[in-house]
Structure 1
Amino acid sequence: LQICTRLRKLSALLDPVAVAVDVLSHDLGTPPALLWGVLGLSIEASSTQLNFIEVTLKTFESLLATLPRFRTYVDVLPNSPHLALAIQDVFQVYLDLGRRCVGTFGGKGLNFIRKLKWFQYQKHIFGDSLGKLRRLTDIVHKEAGVAMEERSQQIAEYRHYEIIASQQEVLSAMTRNQDAVEINDSLIFMVPHPPNSSFTGRNDELEAIHHTLRLNDAKLRGQKVVAICGLGGAGKSQLALKYVHQYQSAYKAVFWVTCDSVVKMDGDFASIAKRLGFSNMSLQQNRENVLNWLSKAGDDWLLIFDNVDSINDISDFWPRSLDGCIMLTSQNSNWRYKENVDRTILLKSLTSKESIGMLEKIMAKQGKIISSEAAAALVKETGGLPLAIRHIGSYICAMGTDPVQFLQAYQDENEASAIDAWDESIPSWYSHTLSTFLNYAFEKLTDDAIALLSTVCFLDPETIGEDVFTQEDISYGPCMSKNRYVISHFEVCDISWVFVANIREATV
């Protein structure tokens, strides 16, 4: 049964490689069926003993698990020389592995000698091959990501500019005999989040953003765009939030749009339209009213698109004006290749000094003091990831845990954590930091808190109604008394990824 399970897993790993080979079979001069034939011969050769089969399957699995995700890149394979070369290298290592299996386990000889030969092959030749493939995979992901992004970008930009061209004539007719919109002296500041008192560092990034948006050739007309890119949890939204609060006096109007979904973007544009004095209309008309207002409002406004994936997501919401300032946050670093982006901030981890400062601020807000040695040891475990620092600091304060004892337990958990999903595009410290902390925190929850968390993970965190969990006729989810709910609610919020303010008392 164990061998059958491993064979199914191996088949699933081999299938996307066979698809890629099929696409490039003309260039490779080899049919994809040969991949399956090599695997079959290797299994047959090692079938003399059960442990030989297990060793063979594990080795093939290690090889295939190291490969790039070729199925994702099938559409761009024919035009990507790097991907074609990658598959050729993979194919050579794969054939060499099959040849070694047949030569080692298929011939005659003592089992001990055969095991020793295989061990030497795995330790030296095969280990070097895996190292080469891992380095190659990093190049493949980068090249394929750029190729795929450029392809989708061409389509999106064509649609984007087509919309602009079709609406430009209408916009000109509407504004030909109208004066530009005058923004009142009172600041229009529509940012849903208060300042973060624990924010630390990033001074160079803040100055770079402001220089691009307001100081760099400020007398020249033109729309200015800054993209803040980085891994999830690196502090992109917090940097944008810090900027708008610190430099709000440089603008007469600031608007924040959450881009998690089209529904949220439409909702934010409807709120902006209402604040600007427009009557409540359809979602499309609200959007048009805001865009028309921005096109006539000069350059003293700032629009923030928070958590954008690609231009496809916001093309219908992008201002058509030739003036104004736009700032966006995204995990997609390919924004740096866009022609209309004036500056891209690639956000990295905090320095050790900045990380310690952030942790000390979090502890001080709760009246806690942490020694410099303990703070340095804790932030070292986080890799300088602001999200992890915030959660660890908040957890220690909320649970009253001694920092030294927490660090010891955290390190033990880190040693025990097994990261099943491997991705070359994400640094190893990133997965270990978040998964280790969440595993540690989750184990401390009561059954009621786990039941509550297991339900809210399926809901929008900004519109959860508390009565969902306490009404007596509920037919789903954790029905509990008001007191039990309140206790579980605070327990979850102490270590949750969401702020307490995000769980509202309004009905869904």
Structure 2
Amino acid sequence: MANIFQDASQVSVVNSSLTAVARDQVVRNQVNNIYPLPLQKDPPRMVLRPRSSALFTGQQVYLDMLKNYFSIQNRKGIAPQRTFVIYGLGGMGKTEIALKFAEEIFGQYTYIFWVDATNKDTIFASLKGISSIPDAKKANVDATPGAVLYWIASLSKEWLLIFDNADGEPSMIEKYVPSNNTGDILITSRNPNMRSLTGNKNSIELDGMNMEDAVALLLKRSNLEEGITKPTQEAAERIVSVLFCLPLAVDQAGAFITSGLCNIYEFLELYSEKRKELMDHPSFRGASKYEQTVYGTWELSYKKIESKAKDQANLRDAQTAILIHQIMAFFHHENIMEDIFIRATEKYIMKNSCI
């Protein structure tokens, strides 16, 4: 009864599939690979998919750094292609900064191309998606990586190509960089070696938010932005300090609070208890502060749901929530379709209405 996915075999999953190997092997919806920008005199418009999060907070120093590096003023005549690398641990906000930057500088480029660089398959799928845009079709571009890269390199208008989640070796990305002086490259990666493509001067490591931005994110995620009292502000500061201002951990803490599982004043006590239990597990001995913090906030949410499953009144909902968490762990972490839940729910309702 708790299995909301039961008999939902006809659920349509676009560009996502269960895998026993790793969720990151699934490509994102490739309709979202190109941000076509208007010709001059057209009203400004930019179709952004994936979009930056509505919860995006702060990080202005990084956005300003990117804007300065890629500014029109810094391109004099026929300048060499510019490349910039954002690197750091997962959950630091690399993708979100790249997305926000793409939104804020849309008028500077005729095209902004987005490539999921998780692996060779996702790169190929992204380039294939680019081949389907109107301008590429008009140029009779084949849906092959080589043809798409050649077409991009031949463009006379300025373009920006963003390689997101390029966590492999630099050589993997280097072979997909079009040779053209009218284009620029932005790379997000967990691999610090990716700096070899541009040098230390033209790269930045993300290692957490500043205190002010982290507090703002926590309060926004917790729906406590308005009417902030001094005790609330101080509680938020204590929480983000314990979480080392790591964006993903702060976001998870805010989600936990806004779910009603605890209030902002109770969070640290619960977090400390569960984190100690987690760190006592043999598999977490020697874990970094990043691993301890991120997994600690995640484990807190999961254990709270499990505890609700022991309560008969909440049994079905809690078991269903746990099941959904377990299933979603096998999906690529971006662009999980609402249709999965809608059609599964419709199937579930239809089945039970016939009983």
TM-score by length of 1: 0.51
Of stretches 359-368 and 412-421 in structure 1, the one that deviates more from structure 2 is 359-368
Paired residues for 1:410-425 under 5 Å: 410-418=271-279, 420-421=282-283
Consecutive unaligned residues of structure 2, counting only runs of 5 or more, are 1-36, 306-317
Which residue of 321, 329, 332 maps to 1:457?
329
Provide the rounded CA distance (Å) in 2 between the counterparts of 1:339 and 1:423. Answer: 36
Deviation at 1:391, TM superposition (A): 1.5
Residues 270 and 280 of structure 1 are in contact (CA less than 8 Å); yes or no, is this contact kept in structure 2?
no
Q: Does 1:394 align with 2:252?
A: no
Q: Does 1:372 align with 2:227?
A: no
Q: Does 1:440 align with 2:300?
A: yes
Which residue of structure 2 aligns with residue 206 of structure 1?
63
Structure 1 residues 471, 379: closer, same or farther in 2, change over 3 A? closer
Residues 119 and 166 of structure 2 are in contact (CA less than 8 Å); yes or no, is this contact kept in structure 1?
no
Which residue of structure 1 aligns with residue 163 of structure 2?
305
Residues 274 and 280 of structure 1 are in contact (CA less than 8 Å); yes or no, is this contact kept in structure 2?
no
Q: Does 1:336 align with 2:176?
A: no
Q: Which has the larger radius of gyration?
A: 1
Deviation at 1:277, TM superposition (A): 3.1
Partner SS state of residue 304, structure 1: strand
Read off the aligned partner of 1:333 and give its amino acid letter.
P
Deviation at 1:259, TM superposition (A): 1.6
Partner SS state of residue 326, structure 1: strand
Provide the rounded CA distance (Å) in 1 between the counterparts of 2:351 and 2:233. Answer: 39
Partner SS state of residue 195, structure 1: coil
Residues 85 and 198 of structure 2 are in contact (CA less than 8 Å); yes or no, is this contact kept in structure 1?
no
Deviation at 1:283, TM superposition (A): 10
Of stretches 456-465 and 291-300 in structure 1, the one that deviates more from structure 2 is 456-465
Provide the rounded CA distance (Å) in 2 between the counterparts of 1:365 and 1:260. Answer: 35
Provide the rounded CA distance (Å) in 1 between the counterparts of 2:151 and 2:158. Answer: 12
Structure 1 residues 284, 399: closer, same or farther in 2, change over 3 A? farther
Residues 128 and 144 of structure 2 are in contact (CA less than 8 Å); yes or no, is this contact kept in structure 1?
yes
Q: Does 1:275 align with 2:142?
A: no
Which residue of 318, 321, 340 maps to 1:466?
340
Partner SS state of residue 377, structure 1: helix
Partner SS state of residue 226, structure 1: strand
Deviation at 1:366, TM superposition (A): 8.1
Residues 304 and 326 of structure 1 are in contact (CA less than 8 Å); yes or no, is this contact kept in structure 2?
yes
Residues 271 and 297 of structure 2 are in contact (CA less than 8 Å); yes or no, is this contact kept in structure 1?
yes
Which residue of structure 2 aligns with residue 32 of structure 1?
none
Q: Does 1:403 align with 2:264?
A: yes
Which residue of 183, 193, 202 maps to 1:324?
183
Partner SS state of residue 356, structure 1: helix
TM-score by length of 2: 0.71
Structure 1 residues 378, 484: closer, same or farther in 2, change over 3 A? farther
- How many residues end up aligned between the 2 structures? 295
Larger helix share, 1 or 2:
1
Structure 1 residues 366, 448: closer, same or farther in 2, change over 3 A? farther
Residues 222 and 255 of structure 2 are in contact (CA less than 8 Å); yes or no, is this contact kept in structure 1?
yes
Residues 304 and 328 of structure 1 are in contact (CA less than 8 Å); yes or no, is this contact kept in structure 2?
yes
Root mean square deviation, CA, Å: 3.5
Structure 1 residues 206, 423: closer, same or farther in 2, change over 3 A? farther
Which residue of 214, 224, 227 maps to 2:82?
224
Partner SS state of residue 249, structure 2: helix
Structure 1 residues 282, 397: closer, same or farther in 2, change over 3 A? farther
* Residues 442-461 of structure 1 deviation map (CA, whole Å, 9 limit, x = unaligned): 11222222223223322345
Structure 1 residues 452, 234: closer, same or farther in 2, change over 3 A? same
* Residues 58-81 of structure 1 deviation map (CA, whole Å, 9 limit, x = unaligned): xxxxxxxxxxxxxxxxxxxxxxxx
* Residues 38-64 of structure 1 deviation map (CA, whole Å, 9 limit, x = unaligned): xxxxxxxxxxxxxxxxxxxxxxxxxxx
Consecutive unaligned residues of structure 1, counting only runs of 5 or more, are 1-181, 473-479, 486-508
